Structure 1
Amino acid sequence: MMKVQKGDVIRLHYTGKVKETGEIFDTTHEDVAKAAGIYNEKGIYGPVPIAVGAGHVLNGLDEQLEGLEVGEKYEIIVPPEKGFGKRDPKLIKTFTLGQFRRQGIYPFPGMPIEIETESGRKLKGRVLTVSGGRVRVDFNHPYAGKHLVYEVEVIEKIEDPIEKVKALIELRMPNVDKEKVIIEVGEKDVTVDFGQLLDEIDKNTLVLGEILLESDLKFIGYEEITFKPSVEELLKPPEEKAEVVELEEEVSEPLVEKAEETPEAEKKAEEPAEETEEAPEEKTEEPEEVSEEKEETKEKAGEEAKAEEAKEETEEKKPKKKTTRRSTKGRKTRRTTTRKTTSKKKTKAAEEKKEGAKEE
């Protein structure tokens, strides 16, 4: 027969009672729980997997599992100091009845209550007496000072390394499908991959499970433990929003530059168009005859052109505006009109001279 040693992973059936009263307060048997009135619909019944000596059960029971044989039934007595502790008189407190009634609570003997201390710690207690406007509450554990009796049976001693890891996962995360967990074990290292279960397990539950599981795996002898995903990866905040912002910044910058360049491009596009429009206006046909009046007109036109050029040079130093180009165009048109008017006057004068000569 195999005997249980510290560090072994086993499956254990047990039922715990209070020696003084025979009250059953804990069990792994579903039928016993129902008979005792402590059945929990959300509870998981059946042999519980534990690592002997790791503190997975009450200390007084854990210590006495060593040396037991697999398949045998035993009765183990746990003294108060190794069970739920001795009763502490300091944990019995007295309150006024008004303190309860102001919160809508009407206490009575045996009533379970819970209060929160100034430090935020929650204490569970039980009302002992209610008299004279005073309420005495005991915050000791209900089984403090009691001797406990455990009926135990070691169902199995697990030898296979991978099955040991699965058993500990079952202990810490009983609702997880162990068959979807990928486990790789070496002599002193182990890798546990929960990747296929990420959509099935709450992240916080997985984080807590990995922290507790790491402690258990170290206890049974593994030195290097790797989880996929790791606790750090599970706790890392999502970066999707940050990536979107960065992408928007990268796209928006070139668009801004392009928008800023557009006015200059429009100016360049406009300049050749204006020159093209002005070019035909400068080509003005004049009579072949050149008289003194024509030369004077040309000189005046030249002086006006120089004045206009000087003015344009001054205006070019200033920021270019579309209004400046329009005014320049207007001036050139006026000059052309002057030239045409002068030519008509000269032609008319020549005709009058010819008519005068014929009359003579």
Structure 2
Amino acid sequence: MMKVQKGDVIRLHYTGKVKETGEIFDTTFEDVAKEAGIYSEKGIYGPVPIAVGAGHVLGGLDEQLEGLEVGEKYEIIVPPEKGFGKRDPKLIKTFTLGQFRRQGIYPFPGMPVEIETESGRKLKGKVMTVSGGRVRVDFNHPYAGKHLVYEVEIVEKIEDPIEKVKALIELRMPMVDTEKVIIEVGEKDVTVDFGQLLNEVDKNTLVLGEILLESDLKFIGYEEVTFKPSVDELLKPPEEEKEVVELEEEVSEPLVEKAEEKEETEEKPEEVKEEPKAEKVEEKPEEVTEEKTEEPKETKETEEAEKEKKPKRKTTRKSTKGRKTRRTTTKKTTSKKKAKAAEEAGEKKEE
């Protein structure tokens, strides 16, 4: 028979019980979970894939899987210190009844409660007693201090390298369809491509899964682990935003040139647009006042013609008046001289 060693990838069936009470608290069998009242609709039942020694199950159980044979059933007892720990008296706290009632909580023995500490840490506990206005709460794990009994069966030991990787993906990301994952393995290196699942699986789920899966793959012997897309790529902003930024950087200079050309072209139409507007404004009054404006045009022309003629007459009159005055003054001066000469001649005759 084939024995299990540390680092092997196996499929394991188990049922965990509390030795003191026989209470079933965990199982990989769906029917057993329903009978025990611990069935969950979100739970995944069936043989669970694990890497032996990697801490995928409770430590006390994990270390006892080594050396077991495939296909055999075993009963493994886990002591408290290797299970959920010993009970710690410091984790039993006392509160006043008023502290609960102010939050609308009316505690009773066995009631599960959750308390948030000053540092923001949330602690889950169970009410032990309620008396005298005091409430005692135990924050130890429900199975702390208990001996555990596991009934186990190693269903399969996986030998194929590709199937090992798929089994670990199933463990860490149970909702992922491993048939859509492209896996390439070498002697010491492995590449896992989740590219086909980007539109099906939440990126945060892939990030957490890759982080956990990397440690698992290195545990089973791979020195170099590569994921596509990588954790860094998954955490980056969407690719569409990057492309937009890159395009803006690439065409920044042409855009400036185009902007300048647009400004020039925008200025030209403005000049052209102004001319037709002025023509339209002039055309409208002409259409409305065609008959009225015909007569004023003629009168304006005649007035302008008369104005041109009048100045010419004024200049000629002024010139003639000037000449006449000059002539009259000369005539007056000559006649006076003649009169004086005649008077002088008459006086001579008388003498």
Name the TM-score, length of structure 2 as normaliser.
0.74
Deviation of the 1:198 alpha carbon: 1.0
SS at match of 1:168: helix
Distance 1:8 1:242 in 2: 43
Q: Residue in 1 aligned with 2:93?
A: 93
Q: Residue in 2 aligned with 1:168?
A: 168
Distance 2:265 2:182 in 1: 60
Q: Which consecutive unaligned segments of at least 5 residues does structure 1 have?
A: 270-336, 350-360
Distance 1:52 1:266 in 2: 81
- Output aligned runs, 1:88-167, within 5 Å: 88-167=88-167
Per-residue CA distance 1:59-118 (angstroms, 9 max, x = gap): 000000000000101000000000000000000001111111111111110001111112
Distance 2:48 2:271 in 1: 85
Per-residue CA distance 1:211-232 (angstroms, 9 max, x = gap): 1000100000001111111111
2:257 is aligned, of 254, 258, 262, to: 254
Is 2:208 the counterpart of 1:208? yes
Deviation of the 1:241 alpha carbon: 4.2
Q: Which amino acid aligns with 1:221?
A: G
Q: Which consecutive unaligned segments of at least 5 residues does structure 2 have?
A: 273-303, 317-351
Distance verdict in 2 for CA 1:253–1:75, change over 3 Å: same
Q: Residue in 1 aligned with 2:38?
A: 38
Q: Which amino acid aligns with 2:97?
A: L
Deviation of the 1:240 alpha carbon: 3.3
Distance verdict in 2 for CA 1:136–1:70, change over 3 Å: same
SS at match of 1:60: helix
- Output aligned runs, 1:209-224, within 5 Å: 209-224=209-224
Q: What value does the CA root-mean-square deviation take over the aligned residues?
A: 2.8
Distance 1:231 1:93 in 2: 42
Per-residue CA distance 1:232-275 (angstroms, 9 max, x = gap): 11100125346546649847633542354458768999xxxxxx
Distance 1:254 1:241 in 2: 24
Distance 2:133 2:200 in 1: 53
Q: Residue in 2 aligned with 1:193?
A: 193
Distance verdict in 2 for CA 1:104–1:256, change over 3 Å: same
Distance verdict in 2 for CA 1:219–1:242, change over 3 Å: closer
Q: Residue in 1 aligned with 2:65?
A: 65
SS at match of 1:209: helix
- Output aligned runs, 1:224-303, within 5 Å: 224-238=224-238, 240-241=240-241, 243-244=243-244, 247=248, 250=252, 253-261=256-264
Distance verdict in 2 for CA 1:229–1:113, change over 3 Å: same
Distance 2:37 2:109 in 1: 21
Is 2:28 the counterpart of 1:28? yes
Distance 1:224 1:98 in 2: 58
Distance verdict in 2 for CA 1:264–1:57, change over 3 Å: closer
Paired positions, count: 278
Distance verdict in 2 for CA 1:169–1:94, change over 3 Å: same
Distance 2:150 2:94 in 1: 34
Distance verdict in 2 for CA 1:108–1:40, change over 3 Å: same
Distance 1:215 1:82 in 2: 23
Distance 1:108 1:268 in 2: 89
State the identity as a percent: 86
Rg (Cα) greater in structure: 2
